[in-house]
Amino acid sequence: MSTLTTFHPLTKLRPFKSNWRVQVKCLHSWRQNTAFGDTFEMVLADQWGNKIQASCKKTLMYRVQRELSQGKWGVIENMQLNPAGGKFKTTRHRYKMTIADDTVVRGSDLKDDRLFLSPANYEDVQKATNVIGRVHELGNVQTVRAQGVDKKRVEFRLIDSQGNDLACCLWESYAEQIEAFVDEFKDQTIVCLLRFAKIQFFRGEAQITNAFGASRLYLNPTEPEVLELTESLSDAHLQLAPIEKSIGKKDGKRIAYDWNDAEIRSISEIIDGSQVEICKIICSIEEIDTDYAWFYIGCNRHRKRVNKLPNIDYEKLTKLDKPMFRCEVCNANIINVGPKFKLHLVVKDDTETCNLMLLGSVAQSIIGHSPEDLWDGSYAEIENPEILPEPILGLIGKSFCFGVSVCADNTTNGSDTFMVLELCSGDKVLSIETNSIATTDIGTSSSTMSSAGVLMLDSISSEDPKTPFSKRKEEDADLLDHSSTSKKPCTKMIKQEMTKTA
Q: Looking at residues 267-296, what average pLDDT do you find?
A: 90
Q: Which residues contact 44 (CB under 8 A, 6 or more apart)?
A: 10, 22, 24, 25, 26, 27, 51, 52, 53, 54, 76, 97
Q: Determine which of 150-159, 396-405, 449-458 has the lowest per-residue pLDDT on average.
A: 449-458
Q: Looking at residues 90-98, what average pLDDT do you find?
A: 89
As a whole number of Å, the end-to-end CA separation of the chain is 42
Cα 64 to Cα 4, 73, 338, 359, distances in angstroms = 21, 12, 32, 33
What percentage of the chain reaches a pLDDT higher than 70? Answer: 73
φ, ψ of residue 390 in degrees (nearest 5): -60, -40
Cis? peptide before 310, omega within 30° of 0:
no
pLDDT tops 50 at residue 256 = no
Cα 317 to Cα 314, 323, 379, distances in angstroms = 5, 7, 6
346 with 289: CB under 8 angstroms? yes
| Sequence spans of domains, the chain | 10-107, 122-231, 267-501
Fold of 10-107: OB fold (Dihydrolipoamide Acetyltransferase, E2P) (2.40.50)
For residue 160, the model assigns a pLDDT of 79
Read off the pTM: 0.53
Question: Where does 190-253 have alpha helices with state H?
Answer: 224-231
- Shortest CA distance to 360 belongs to which of 409, 314, 406, 299? 299
φ, ψ of residue 280 in degrees (nearest 5): -120, 145
The 10s digit of each residue's pLDDT in 414-470 is 787 899 988 876 433 433 333 333 443 443 333 333 333 444 554 433 334 333 333
Rg over CA atoms, the chain: 25
420 with 490: CB under 8 angstroms? no
pLDDT tops 70 at residue 149 = yes
Q: Work out the mean pLDDT of the chain and round it to a whole number.
A: 76
- Write down the CATH superfamily of domain 122-231: Nucleic acid-binding proteins (2.40.50.140)
For residue 283, the model assigns a pLDDT of 94
For residue 229, the model assigns a pLDDT of 66
* 42 vs 318, higher pLDDT: 42
SS3 state at 192 = strand
Q: What is the DSSP letter of 91?
A: S
pLDDT tops 80 at residue 218 = yes
For residue 483, the model assigns a pLDDT of 39
- Shortest CA distance to 388 belongs to which of 361, 421, 363? 363
One fold for 10-107 and 122-231: yes
Q: Which residues contact 420 (CB under 8 A, 6 or more apart)?
A: 356, 357, 358, 362, 402, 403, 404
What is the band of 232 on the pLDDT scale with cuts at 50, 70, 90?
low
Question: Where does 222-335 have alpha helices with state H?
Answer: 224-231, 267-272
User: Could you tell me if residue 260 is left (phi over 0), alpha (psi between -120 and 50 degrees) or otherwise beta?
Assistant: alpha
Q: Looking at residues 128-134, what average pLDDT do you find?
A: 78
For residue 303, the model assigns a pLDDT of 83
